[in-house]
Amino acid sequence: MRPLISIIVPVFNVEKFLDRCLSSLTSQTLKDIEIVVVNDGSTDSSREIVRTHAEQDERIRVIDQANQGLSGARNTGIGAAKGEYLAFVDSDDWVDPEMFAAMYAEAVRTHADICACDYTLAYEHDSVSNVLKLEAERIDIEVYGLDRLWNSKKYAVVVWNKIYRRSLVEEYGLRFESNRRVFSEDVLFNLCFLRHASVFASVSGAFYHYFQRPDSLTSSWKPDYLKRELYLVDRFADFYADYDNREVYRRILNRLFFERVQNSCVHDVEFRISLNEARSGLLQASRHPGFHDQMRTASRDPEVWRPMRLFANLCARRRYTSAIFLLRTLSGVSRTLRKVRSTGRFKKAASVQASFF
């Protein structure tokens, strides 16, 4: 009998966190699941931990492979999955027991192709819950508007708080782009999936715990960040080249391009590289086709956070040094809020900081 959900778990050197993750999956109240664990060339004791859990629960399927990165491991899991829906859980995170039962029931009730839940930012000594403020909702994507759904970011661009109808993934050959080419692989996967989806649903409840590891992949500076972000924009344009509603496409493209450039500049500023280096990156982005028009559009978009509208306006006017100085100021505020949060006493400050970048 086909499992209702295939939960794909990429694993690479996470021995400190893996037991917590797998225990949370085997404790799901929805029993008809399979847990596809892809050991992506771990060199620590992760493989042994996975094997121990697999011996205790026959729903765990283990695949060993040479290291291919997060996207490669997820793609291997997709290829092996048999469930009606797909889910993705990162191996340093964990989930509540009711997570997949709640999302599957809602997906069935609403005939949804994709269903999302809220999540908690989990720190060593603190947490911020209900980050997205989600409630139970059903959205007909064609009626609601794909651009409106995407640009609102209400449901987050990550994949680990969602389930996806596997038949659509297979019908259209959807896979994750290589991490060597794209930094935000979740963004591209969701955009490709949503193009073919009809109904989007959500449930109330922060069932997913997104652990903030100080040594995670997002905690080190990447010199090719901008290159990979612009590649993502170009791949989106390729995937949507024959999309019928060009106005919807344009609105998504404008926001996507602005956010990729913004993310790259924020990344540079957060790691405190020199002003000249940060400005050089922005100048490189300005040579991408449509840069100034898209920045002007973002500067007038009421859904863009006001300080970032100012950033877009400065870029559109070619005031790149001023744009970087603005980001440095915002980054300083963000770091201050992080220090307040680290005391474990001010959760409101933590939630404010989470919305900054």
Asked whether the beta carbons of 328 and 314 are under 8 A apart, the reply is no
- Mean pLDDT, the chain, as a whole number? 92
Per-residue pLDDT at 43 exceeds 90: yes
Mean pLDDT of 178-198: 94
Q: Which of 29-33, 211-215, 271-275, 335-339 has the highest mean pLDDT?
A: 29-33
User: What is the reported pTM?
Assistant: 0.90
Q: Please report, for the chain, the start and end positions of each structural domain, with discontinuous segments joined by +.
A: 5-217, 221-341
- What pLDDT digit, counting tens, does each position of 106-138 carry? 999 999 999 999 999 998 888 999 999 999 999
Residue 101 has pLDDT above 50, yes or no: yes
Q: What is the pLDDT of residue 339?
A: 67
Q: What is the pLDDT of residues 289-318, one digit of tens each?
A: 999 999 999 999 999 999 999 999 999 999
Distance (Å, whole) CA 177 – CA 214: 25
DSSP for residue 149: H
Distance CA 350, CA 128 (A): 7
Q: How many CB atoms sit inside 10 A of residue 228's CB? A: 20
| Percent of the chain predicted with pLDDT > 70 | 92
What is the rounded CA–CA span in Å between residue 38 and residue 62? 6
* Tens of pLDDT, residues 44-65: 999 999 999 999 999 999 999 9
Q: What is the C-alpha to C-alpha distance for residues 18 and 289, in angstroms, rounded to an integer?
A: 44
Least confident of 90-104, 130-144, 224-238, 341-355: 341-355
Give 189-257 as a DSSP string: HHHHHHHH--EEEEEEEEEEEEE--TTSGGGS--TTHHHHHHHHHHHHHHHTTT-S-HHHHHHHHHHHH
State the pLDDT at residue 306. Answer: 95
Among 36-40, 88-92, 177-181, 187-191, the range scoring the smallest mean pLDDT is 177-181
Tell me what the mean pLDDT of segment 214-240 comes to: 83
Name the pLDDT band for 205 (thresholds 50, 70, 90).
very high
CATH class label, 5-217: alpha beta
